[in-house]
């Protein structure tokens, strides 16, 4: 069995995807980079509070399950729309659990070249999000075992912030 440095080279970019426009910007950037490098793109969405209804009375109900299902299907459709012109190979995964752990585990498992995430957004909704949710980009940059590329929070043309 022969081994060359080309065979051992990472063949994937892992991109974390959220429902915010900055995440769409990161996805578009990662797709461009993946195309230039001729590597696969692995899009990972880790469920967060935005994927679940805010009404506690729905917890455990069929209506909550439908809400979550529809939210996750909407994210997948958003990703497919943003990658419509991407000619390379890509995959999408909905994950649950700790975002930092899930993204770094997937990057480790596929020996990713790097992890790409969206940077901090702007505006009042972002301040609330920063207060209520931790910054996965900041944690990845400080703890991941491979390079992390944080893309500025400018949305791609025609993509509105979901919040």
Length of the chain: 163
User: Is 85 strand, coil or helix?
Assistant: coil
Output the tens digit of pLDDT for each of the chain's 163 residues: 444 445 556 689 999 998 777 889 999 999 999 999 999 999 999 988 778 878 888 888 898 889 989 999 999 999 999 999 999 999 999 999 998 999 999 999 999 999 999 887 655 555 445 544 557 778 888 888 899 998 886 544 554 444 4
Q: Give me the domains of the chain, ranges plus CATH numbers.
A: 9-151 (3.40.50.620)
Whole-prediction pTM: 0.79
Looking at the chain, the number of H-run helices and the number of E-run strands are 6, 5
- DSSP structural state of residue 140: H
Place of tokens 């995430």: 117
């Amino acid at each position: 069995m022969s081994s060359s440095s080309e065979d051992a080279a990472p063949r994937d970019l892992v991109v974390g995807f959220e429902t915010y426009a900055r995440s769409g910007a990161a996805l578009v950037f990662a797709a461009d980079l993946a195309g230039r490098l001729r590597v696969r793109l692995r899009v990972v969405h880790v469920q967060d509070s935005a994927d679940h209804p805010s009404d506690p009375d729905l917890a455990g109900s069929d209506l909550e399950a439908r809400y979550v299902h529809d939210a996750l299907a909407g994210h997948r459709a958003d990703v497919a729309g943003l990658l419509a012109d991407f000619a390379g190979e890509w995959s999408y995964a909905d994950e649950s659990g700790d975002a930092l752990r899930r993204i770094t585990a997937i990057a480790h498992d596929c020996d990713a070249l790097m992890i790409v995430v969206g940077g901090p957004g702007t505006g009042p909704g972002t301040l609330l999000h920063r207060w209520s949710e931790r910054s996965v980009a900041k944690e990845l940059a400080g703890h991941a075992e491979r390079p992390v590329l944080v893309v500025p929070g400018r949305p791609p043309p025609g993509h509105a912030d979901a919040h």
